[in-house]
């Protein structure tokens, strides 16, 4: 196994960071690595907001569910799906009949954003930095959009903490590969047994890890997560941002 594969398989979310800045040249190289990710039809429908203002960081930390590492990490980014740039380019070139608000446009922009961010994550971890995705920006996306002055056709997909780790958490186990990877057709034969075994693995992990110890399994967590309405405001919010999903 080569060093890149080892790096990818050793990912952990970091939530405690040293009070240490990231060299600006390195930071920009991380973003260039993000730009090198695959992008649908070269649309590049992503914008990244580098949040440096302490007051804005504190506000976003609270709006994202009270996550203090948003304020304490060396760099905090908000990755945004951005179709405005595309539509503006069409306007400048006198393109007529531009279709806006298509579901496929939403998918393209969201996937492009995720690919960009994951490249940044891998690049950062290769430089001994730690990262943590902050999906909590979607808890209050309208307020965060206002703080960041996001225009129509742009929405915040997630936040992203980067910094030098001040903790060394264990690698969280993943579902067995045979549950995830199917051959030729979708079949869930044997999945129930494999997931039952995985639940025991996760229970042992949760009971023995260094922090946030708990007595739970993967299935327990899924049961709690999906018996609650998950951010029901997002549909109306996206419509208001220019993503009506036509």
What's the pLDDT score for residue 6?
97
Cα separation, 225 vs 137, whole angstroms: 17
What's the pLDDT score for residue 228?
86
What's the pLDDT score for residue 81?
98
Cα separation, 167 vs 73, whole angstroms: 13
* Strand pairing category for 130-134 and 154-163: antiparallel
Q: Is 147 exposed, middle or buried (0-12, 13-18, 19+ CB in 10 A)?
A: buried
Q: Where are the domains of the chain?
A: 3-169, 172-209+212-228
- According to DSSP, residue 211 is labeled S
Is the domain 3-169 a CATH 3.40.109.10 member? Answer: yes
What's the pLDDT score for residue 209?
87
Contact of 92 with 132, CB cutoff 8 Å: no
Which residues in the chain land under pLDDT 50?
A: none
What's the pLDDT score for residue 92?
97
Cα separation, 122 vs 221, whole angstroms: 27
Element (H, E) at 82: strand 75-82
């Amino acid at each position: 196994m080569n060093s890149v594969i080892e790096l990818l398989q050793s990912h952990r979310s970091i939530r405690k960071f040293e009070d240490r800045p990231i060299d600006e040249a390195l930071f920009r190289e991380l973003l260039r690595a993000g730009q090198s990710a695959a992008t649908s039809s070269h649309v590049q429908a992503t914008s990244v907001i580098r949040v440096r203002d302490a007051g804005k960081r504190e506000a976003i930390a609270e709006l994202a569910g009270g996550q203090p590492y948003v304020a304490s990490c060396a760099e905090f980014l908000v990755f945004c799906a951005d179709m405005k740039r595309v539509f503006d380019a069409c306007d400048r070139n006198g393109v007529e009949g531009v279709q806006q608000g298509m579901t496929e446009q939403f998918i393209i922009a969201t996937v492009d954003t995720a690919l960009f961010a994951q490249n940044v994550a891998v690049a950062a971890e290769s430089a001994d930095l730690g990262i943590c995705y902050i999906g909590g920006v979607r808890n209050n996306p309208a307020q965060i959009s206002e703080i960041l002055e996001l225009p129509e056709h742009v929405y915040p997909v997630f936040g992203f903490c980067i910094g030098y780790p001040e903790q060394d958490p264990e690698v969280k186990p993943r579902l067995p590969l045979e549950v995830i990877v199917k051959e030729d057709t979708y079949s869930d034969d044997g999945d129930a047994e494999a997931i039952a075994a995985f639940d025991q693995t996760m229970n042992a992990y949760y009971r023995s890890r260094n922090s946030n110890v708990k007595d739970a399994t993967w299935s327990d967590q899924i049961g709690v997560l999906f018996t609650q309405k998950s951010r029901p405001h997002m549909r109306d919010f996206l419509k208001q941002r220019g993503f009506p999903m036509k």
